Amino acid sequence: MSTGTRARGTTYREAMREALREALRSDERVFLMGEDVGRYGGCFGVSLGLLEEFGPDRVRDTPLSESAFVGAGIGAALAGMRPVVEIMTVNFSLLALDQILNNAATLLHMSGGQLPVPLVIRMTTGAGRQLAAQHSHSLESFYAHIPGIRVLAPATLEDARHVLAPALADPDPVVIFEHGSLYNAAGELDPAAGPVELDRAAVRRPGTDVSLITYGGSLPKALAAADELAADGVDAEVVDLRSLRPLDGATIAASVARTHRAVVVDEAWRTGSLAAEVSARIAEESFYELDAPVERVCSAEVPIPYARQLEEAALPQTADIVAAAHRAVD
């Protein structure tokens, strides 16, 4: 693709697939493994066609045992490979939490720097697709709590396309959360975009009246809320956290210093959420910049319902973000 053109109609799914293709082509140590990533093309179609292009040694279907294949990925990384492990949904990743927390995240530290684990774990997260409680939760805060790993939540086409290469180059394990509602999102992929800075947030829309701070699948809702607020005369800034561990506190603080109000949007449950951590950091580092209490917009504290109307009622929606911003401003 020429650098003088812009591709049209690229989806988030296709951008992630092209990132995988590039990684497999450029480094023979890279391989993809997970449930149904091969013949089926991935549960969400991200790896479709990669088996035929790279063969079963590079695109490996695994048994239905998250602990086993994440453990195999850790072993491969220790042996010098660059594995990309796909876990079908974040709920299933809890079956591999022992491997991620007690092995992947700790080995570099416990070995005095002798045993890096350059492992990338991809998983789908989030609700909004009527997949019920065992396939729909947002558990990113579980992983953002763990020292020794990076936690990323690409929310744009450019981030989906360019986050994998720097993640594979990192000596620490990197967990990438892909919100299921984003896979079909389509648009123009900027050919000038480059590798993602793994520890930096991004201001997706500048503003002066209130900061809408979010990540992942909630970013489109925050941007839509900013449009609605603009019609009401409220100039909202939208901050995409992008990196959940480490959090980019400097970008958050700079945004609050500009707007003096903050609304934190998080699809996870309110109690113990990433929104709670961001709110606490704003209180610690930017308290005297605030002209109003920090607002939080989170999911209802119930297992995600199956019925569409109940699911929508349980999740943060654009109207909820708009209302929270008006409370902060008014």
pLDDT score of 9: 85
Q: Is the dihedral of CA 81, 170, 195, 151 positive or negative?
A: positive
Of 65, 122, 63, 124, residue with least CA distance to 89: 124
What single-letter amino acid sits at 62?
A: T
Please report, for residues 33, 45, 315, the alpha-carbon distance to residue 56 in angstroms, rounded to integers and kept in the order given.
10, 17, 39
pLDDT score of 190: 87
Q: Note if 66 is an active site residue.
A: yes
Q: Mind listing the pLDDT tens digit for each residue in 147-157?
A: 999 999 999 99
pLDDT score of 191: 84
Instruction: Compute the radius of gyration of the chain from its Cα atoms.
Output: 20
Distance CA 227, CA 71 (A): 45
Catalytic site residue from 14, 18, 35, 66: 66
pTM, two decimals, is 0.94
Q: Which residues pair with 278 in a beta bridge?
A: none
Record the tokens describing residue 61, joined without a space.
């279907």
Q: Which residues pair with 83 in a beta bridge?
A: 31
Record the tokens describing residue 294, joined without a space.
């920090």
Q: Note if 135 is an active site residue.
A: yes
The phi, psi pair for 121, rounded to 5°, reads -115, 120
pLDDT score of 266: 98
Could you say which residues of the chain have pLDDT below 50?
Answer: 1-7
Long-range contacts (CB closer than 8 Å, 24 or more residues apart) made by 288-294: 289/253, 289/256, 289/257, 289/260, 290/256, 290/260, 290/261, 290/262, 291/260, 291/261, 292/260, 292/261, 292/327, 292/328, 292/329, 293/328, 294/262, 294/263, 294/264
Place of tokens 């580092």: 285
Distance CA 233, CA 287 (A): 25
Domains and CATH numbers, the chain: 7-189 (3.40.50.970), 202-329 (3.40.50.920)
Place of tokens 């850790």: 74
Catalytic site residue from 18, 135, 295, 311: 135
pLDDT score of 8: 52
Distance CA 54, CA 31 (A): 9
- The DSSP bridge pattern shows strands 243-245 and 236-240 to be unpaired
For the chain, percent helix, then strand, then coil, each to nearest 5? 40, 20, 40
- The DSSP bridge pattern shows strands 82-89 and 202-205 to be unpaired
pLDDT score of 35: 96
Within 10 Å of residue 286's Cβ, how many Cβ atoms? Answer: 20
Alpha helices (H) along 149-290 = 157-162, 164-169, 219-231, 249-259, 274-286
Cα Dmax for the chain: 59
Q: Mind listing the pLDDT tens digit for each residue in 278-324?
A: 999 999 999 999 999 999 999 999 999 999 999 999 999 999 999 99
